[in-house]
Chain A
Amino acid sequence: MRESGTDVSDLLTEFRRPELLQIVALTLRVSGVALVLATVSGVPIGALLGLVRFRGQRLVTLLLYTGMGLPPVVVGLFVYLGLSNSGPFGSLGWLFTPTAMIVAQAIIAFPLVAGLTMTAVAGVDRAVRQQVFALGASRWQSAWTVVLEARVGVTAAIVAAFGGIISEVGAVMLVGGNIDGQTRVLTTAIVLYTRQGEFALAIALGLVLIAVAFGANVMLLRLQGRLGDR
């Protein structure tokens, strides 16, 4: 490791850098709020699409699936254009703020949450719905019970979306600008420090990113288990 200018003691020093905590906190705030927004909108919409049949459903499904594969940098580009001074939402003054990053990440996460929730809910056996109906559930109670039956898939949708946004760099770089102390998150910081040759710090941030993703997923899976006990 010495040849590349990095060893374990360098890494330990980097973990103690004061700005690290700030970067981690902003990363969690941006991706966390974006995930909550995508979940509260994406789970009900995905569940509805999985439960009902309507004209144009195939088109909506196709659009959602396409959205699941949207390159973050393209989402970042459109959010940038929308929030720039000449854009329709320029007056909000959100460009190069964490709010713009949240908007971009929520847009990236939404099709993942909605699309995978739709697949999970549609995959619940029709006989379960009939059974629940025959036990006296109202339409809402039936729908909620089916979503609970699909909870493994719904949790996987949320986990996948979180993994997608916490690790993306293109959108937050474009709309946040990677401003030190203001819009710098783990991924954009890794890009910056790698370019500057500060490999120890970049590796430390990479390890923190992996640990944060791991911790968040542990929490989500615990939530899934708790729902299962109800």
Chain B
Amino acid sequence: MTAAPLYRLESVRQQYGGRVVLDIDRLEIGRGETLAVLGPSGSGKSTLLRLLQFLERPSAGRLWFDGQPAESEPPVDVRRRVTTVFQRPFVLTRSVRANLAFGLRVRGRADRPADIDRLLDALGLAALAHAPAHSLSGGEVQRVALARALAFDPEVLLLDEPTANLDPRNVRLVEDLIRDRRARGVTIVLATHQIFQARRLADRAALLLDGQVVEAGPAAQVLDHAADPRTRAFLSGDMVY
């Protein structure tokens, strides 16, 4: 990571009521890298993504995005460089196609039908283009949500368990698209508890336990030669906490 990082977190703490859910001493996310954030359920992965999406302000600490402090809500044009595919994505009560066009419309950009068709096709959704999005299955909604996020070519893609509801064939479709964006230089933060997925997709990996970054580094190093015993325990499938 030679260039200045895209995100920098210093002493970031997030608490709800009196409960500390995230307590990160230091974390940097480089431009164009794919960072896998690993950890069991409740370890703070989704909270971290909400901070990176500027949906929440940290209770304490400093957060920089592209060199600018981002503890308060950044201007809309800065926000628009980042998008999230949530673990339980919500589709608007419109057609699948209209859902895909939403991000373009709010940016005042024309939705090119050919681009939308290509995305629908890549995710196996072509036949559902005109279906009401709220009538889809969980797996279909998850793919629509990913296609909707990719439609406006975000610079940063935050993915929260993007393949949680998918069968193996669709997992491959989604991972192919993630790889494609990674190759195009999109910065990706992938929150997952699937170690093999992290191995397949990530440049770097970070393990979150109880809201703290236990270990972070190149994916191969963290996943294959973990230094921290808690990381090794998590990777070997033992219950950590």
Residues of A participating in the B interface, judged by any CB pair closer than 8 Å: 125, 127-128, 130-138, 141, 145, 148-149, 228-230
Query: Chain B's nearest CB lies how many Å from the CB of A156?
Result: 15
Q: Which B residues between 74 and 105 are near A, CB-CB below 8 angstroms?
A: 76, 79-80, 82-84, 86, 88-90, 92-95, 98, 102-103
Cα A131 to Cα B103 in complex, Å, equals 11
Give bound CA distance, A128 to B93, whole Å: 11
Q: Interface residues of B, CB < 8 Å — how many? A: 25
A residues near B94, Cβ cutoff 8 Å: 228-230
What A residues does B106 contact at CB under 8 A?
Answer: 135-138, 141
Is B57 an interface position by the 8 A CB rule? no
List CB contacts (< 8 Å) of B37-53 with chain A.
Answer: 50, 53
- In whole angstroms, what is the CA distance A125 to B53 when docked? 19
Partner of A135, one of B88, B93, B95, B148: B148
Instruction: Decide: B80 and A145 in contact? CB cutoff 8 A.
Output: no
Please name 10 further chain A to chain B contacts, defined as beta carbons within 8 Å, in addition to the given A132-B92, A149-B92, sorted by A numbering.
A134-B83, A134-B86, A136-B76, A136-B80, A136-B106, A136-B107, A136-B152, A137-B106, A148-B92, A230-B98
Contact of B102 among A127, A135, A228, A229 (CB under 8 A): A135
Q: Give 9 pairs: A residue, B residue, CB < 8 Å, sorted on A.
A: A127-B90, A130-B55, A132-B102, A133-B79, A134-B53, A134-B84, A135-B103, A136-B83, A136-B107
Given A127-B86, A131-B86, A135-B149, A229 contacting B95 (CB threshold 8 A): yes
B residues touching A (Cβ–Cβ < 8 Å)? 50, 53, 55, 76, 79-80, 82-84, 86, 88-90, 92-95, 98, 102-103, 106-107, 148-149, 152
Residues of A within 8 A of B149 (CB): 135
Of all A-B residue pairs in the complex, the 8 with the closest CB atoms, nearest first, are A136-B80, A134-B84, A131-B90, A137-B106, A135-B103, A138-B76, A141-B106, A128-B90
Question: Counting chain A CB atoms within 10 Å of each CB, which of B76, B90, B152 scores highest?
Answer: B90
Docked pose: A176 CA to B152 CA in angstroms: 57
Q: How far is the CB of A191 from chain B (nearest CB, A)?
A: 43
A residues less than 8 Å from B103 (CB atoms): 135-136
**Are A135 and B76 in contact, with the CB atoms below 8 A?**
no
Q: Which residues of B contact A132 (CB under 8 A)?
A: 92, 102
B89 A131 Cβ-Cβ under 8 A: yes
CA distance A228 to B98 in the complex (A): 10
- Chain A residues within an 8 Å CB radius of B76: 136, 138
Give the distance to chain A from B48, nearest Cβ to Cβ, in Å: 14
Task: Quote the shortest CB–CB distance from A227 to chain B (angstroms).
Answer: 10
Q: Note all chain B residues with C-beta closer than 8 A to A130.
A: 50, 55, 86
A12 to B148, CA, bound (A): 58
Provide the residues of chain A in CB contact with B88, threshold 8 Å: 127
Closest residue of chain A to B99 (Cβ to Cβ) is A135
Residue of A nearest to B89 (CB): A131
Which chain A residue lies CB-closest to B154? A136
Closest chain-B Cβ to A44's Cβ sits at a distance in Å of 20
Choice from A128, A131, A136 contacting B79 with Cβ under 8 Å:
A136
